[in-house]
Amino acid sequence: MGKNIRRWMPEGLKFMLVSSLAFALMSSCVKLVNTYNIPVLQIVAARAFISLLLSYADIKRKGISMWGNNKVLLTLRGVAGVLALMCIYYALTILPLAEANILQNLTPVFTAALAILVLGEKVHRSTVICIILSLMGLIITVKPGLLVSNANDLPAVGVMAALVGAAGSAIAYVIVKKLSASEDSSVIIFYFPMVALPVSLALLGNDIVMPDFEALTLLLLIGVLTQVVQICLTRAMQVEAANKVTAYSYVQIIFSMFMGGLFFNEIPSMWTWLGGSLIVAGALINVIGHSHPGRKSEKNARKSQKQNQSVTLESGSA
């Protein structure tokens, strides 16, 4: 049975299934730990602390400097990442799990726009289609009341937090793309918790809540599951083409819908399914449209894959 599964299931898909499941579980833990009155900033700080320890250990294992070359840009990557993470976690505490994850998948729209404006990339037809479909999906998911009078709109505060989180993730993505030419991926990853921990603690101030055993367990799980996401994403990128890995990653929405129903009794509406489908379709069209393996040499393909790997290491958590 196991051999048969290995024959038809690509190795990259197996790693992405584990990564997507870990991401959905991590999102559920964020939502659950907030019910113990743990502030969002404290959740961010706990996640950053665990990531800082693991990232530091990885840098020491490689025997490289933790400070990198472009310290200003690395710090900006950390700032964008912590802003995105705070907003994403806050959105998870307000919105249904599936809807929060669907809105997070608008990151490719912001990334495409920033790549054109900042990196000077060409405007592809697939990018235009991606933006149009994603905006249609956003409206249908967030404001179905514009189409049907008796439909329930999502909370505006949660939607804005999710959108800012997606935009922050896109900014971090573009910065990492620039940094990947001169910085080791482990250093890029290290700067995120190094910035996130003091920033979140400073903003938290005296509002720290002493967690009980269950809340502490959930906080630890958030850090551990995030690391599982990163490891499996890395392995998926090593054994599979980046465009295929991106396509596989959208299975996390299915897992999120299942977790939302299992833990929070959240049943996605027809509008969530329709809007989410348009957003995912737009993102996939953009990925496929930018993938031209036949025009790349094997060396360039590996270089592009390495860059994407360092980018996606934090994609599940800004």
Query: Model-level pTM?
Result: 0.82
The pLDDT tens digits along the chain (318 residues) read: 455 555 556 777 888 889 889 999 999 999 999 999 999 999 999 999 999 998 899 999 999 999 999 999 999 999 999 999 999 999 999 999 999 999 988 887 887 788 778 767 777 888 888 888 888 988 898 888 767 766 778 899 999 999 999 999 888 888 888 888 888 888 988 999 999 999 999 999 999 999 999 999 999 999 989 888 877 876 776 677 666 666 677 788 889 999 999 999 998 889 899 998 998 888 788 777 766 544 444 444 444 444 444 444 444 456
Give yes or no for a contact between 245 and 12, defined as CB atoms under 8 angstroms apart: yes
DSSP secondary structure letters along 179-223: HTTTS-HHHHHHHHHHHHHHHHHHHHTT------HHHHHHHHHHH
DSSP secondary structure letters along 246-283: HHHHTHHHHHHHHHHHHHH-----HHHHHHHHHHHHHH
